[in-house]
Amino acid sequence: MNSKPVAIITGASRGIGRAISLALASGGFDIVAIARTPDSECMLALQPEIEGLGARFFPVGLDVAHTDRHDEVISSILEHYGRIDILVNNAGVAPIERNDILDMDEESYDRVLNVNLRGPVFLARRVAREMIWMKEKVNDYHPSIMFVTSFLTYTSFTHAAEVCVSKAGLSMAAHVFADRLSEEGINVYEIRPGLIETELTTRGKYKFDKLVAEGLIPQKRWGTPEDVAKAVASLARGDWAYSSGTIFEVSGGMNIRSI
C-alpha cells in the first residue's frame, strides 16, 4: 500500500483540473489524473511536472459519464496505489452549441447532464464505499470528496441552461453526500468557481470581459485555475476539517448581493 495519500482528479488534463493536480502534488499527494484521453499531449506534458514535484503520477482514461467503467477504474487505482484519500470531481463539459433554452438540443442536454452530474454522483458513490472500507485499513486516514460546481448553480445563463441545471444538481449532490458521509468520517465539500479563465470560457470571453469591466465581479478580475486549486489544496490539507458540507466560493465576490 502507498505510504503517501492519493488524490483522484477528474478532468485533470487542462484548466482547473490541471492546476488542482499540481497543487495537490505539491502538497504531498500522489496523483491519479483522469481524462478522456490519457495519452493526450496535455496529459503527457502534465506527467513530468507532477513527478518533478516528487509525486507519483497515474494517468487513467475515463469519460466519467460511462458509469459502467467506474468499477474497473477504481479497481485499477487500488491495484496501483492501494488507497484513495481524496476525490476531486472536477470534470465538466459545455453545451455542444450554446443555444437559447427554447432551442436547447436534447442530445446536448443529455451529454452535459451525464458528464456534469450523473457521472460525478456515481463516481463519488463508488469511491465513498471504498473509503468506508479503507478507514479500518489505513493509519491516520482522513478521506474527503470534493465537487467542483460553478456560479451557474445560482445564476441563469439562458444560452447554457443545461450547464445551469447540471451544476445546481451537483451542488445538491454535494449537500446530500456531506449529510450521509459525515457519520462515516468522510468530509464532503463543494468548491464553487466564478468566471475562471479556461478553454471552456474562451467562446464567451468578449462578452464576459465587458461584464467584468461593468462590475459583474466585485474584485474586478477573472479568476484563474490556480485560485480554485488553492482552495482545494487547503481543504485537502485538513484546514477545514470541521466544515463538512461547506460551499467554498471562489468567484471574486460574485455571490455578493447588493443594491
pLDDT in tens, 28-64: 999 999 999 999 999 999 999 999 999 999 999 999 9
Average pLDDT of the chain, as a whole number: 95
In a domain, 223, yes or no: yes
In a domain, 259, yes or no: no
In a domain, 257, yes or no: no
In a domain, 258, yes or no: no
Q: How many domains does the chain have?
A: 1
- Residue 83 structural domain: 6-250
In tens, the pLDDT along 122-174 reads 999 999 999 999 999 999 999 999 999 999 999 999 999 999 999 999 999 99
In tens, the pLDDT along 163-201 reads 999 999 999 999 999 999 999 999 999 999 999 998 767
In a domain, 131, yes or no: yes
- Cβ-contact 182, 245 below 8 angstroms: yes
- Cβ-contact 82, 2 below 8 angstroms: yes
**Total Cβ atoms within 10 A of residue 53:** 18
In a domain, 1, yes or no: no
| Nearest residue to 85 (alpha-carbon basis) of 64, 55, 117, 114 | 55
pTM recorded for the entire structure: 0.96
**Where residue 22 sits, what CATH number does that domain have?**
3.40.50.720
